[in-house]
Structure 1
Amino acid sequence: MISSPQHKTGDLMNKKTKRTFTPEFRLECAQLIVDKGYSYRQASEAMNVGSTTLESWVRQLRRERQGIAPSATPITPDQQRIRELEKQVRRLEEQNTILKKATALLMSDSLNGSR
């Protein structure tokens, strides 16, 4: 039985690396379809992005515009700002809880120490 040398090296050479896109780029691509009337094929070719990827970005943009919070990284500036503010609120709430516990602990220590 003859083994193919391409099997080992061919797999490595044909693997695609996963590209990452900025939220601004994703928004621009989705806006081509939603706002400017491009077809998925036209936008895909113009931006060098797969049509399936574009479909998910367009779906996400439409949901964000309807006020539905995204589960993925937000692409509209408003949704990005909302996510940042939500993180800040959570962090401040955690700090507030810690301060309340520390205050209660210090108060109980001072009451017990004064007896």
Structure 2
Amino acid sequence: MTKNYDKEFKMQTVQMIEEGKPVAQVARELGVSTNTLYRWKAEFAQHGKQAFPGSGNMLPDDKAVRDLQKQIRELQEENEILKKAMHYFAKDRR
């Protein structure tokens, strides 16, 4: 069974490691695997205070990319509709 840890817990854990406490010791004390702690540490190093957005949430940059991809798909669909309409009306003029 996978445990879910909130952002505050992860931030406090990373802070303990950054203050010099050995990862293995923190892992034993908190009952979290060392691999998980190294992953949290790397995520915090990469994203800072925006790390650990929570379940179902995305980092702001990832959300922006997703939103832009959605917009591109919608515009492509609109272009296809307009192309079909253009061909339809061009046939009527002949």
Global fold match (TM > 0.5):
yes
Q: Which structure 1 residue ranges, 4+ long, deviate > 6 Å from structure 2?
A: none
Instruction: Map 1:11-30 to 2 at 5 A.
Output: 17=1, 19-22=2-5, 24=7, 25-30=9-14
* Whole-angstrom CA distance in 1 between matches of 2:31 and 2:75: 47
Taking structure 2 as the reference length, the TM-score comes to: 0.68
Which residue of 6, 17, 41 corresponds with 1:33? Answer: 17
User: Which segments of 5 or more consecutive residues in structure 2 lack a partner in the other structure?
Assistant: none
Q: Give the superposed CA RMSD.
A: 2.7
Residue of structure 2 in register with 1:99 after alignment: 78
1:53 aligns with 2:43: no
Q: What residue ranges of structure 1 are gaps of 5+ in the alignment? A: 1-16, 66-73
Name the one with the larger helix percent: 2
The higher radius of gyration belongs to: 1
Identity fraction in percent: 11
Asked whether the 8 Å contact 1:30–1:57 carries over to 2, the reply is yes
Aligned-pair distance for 1:52?
2.2
TM-score (norm 1): 0.58
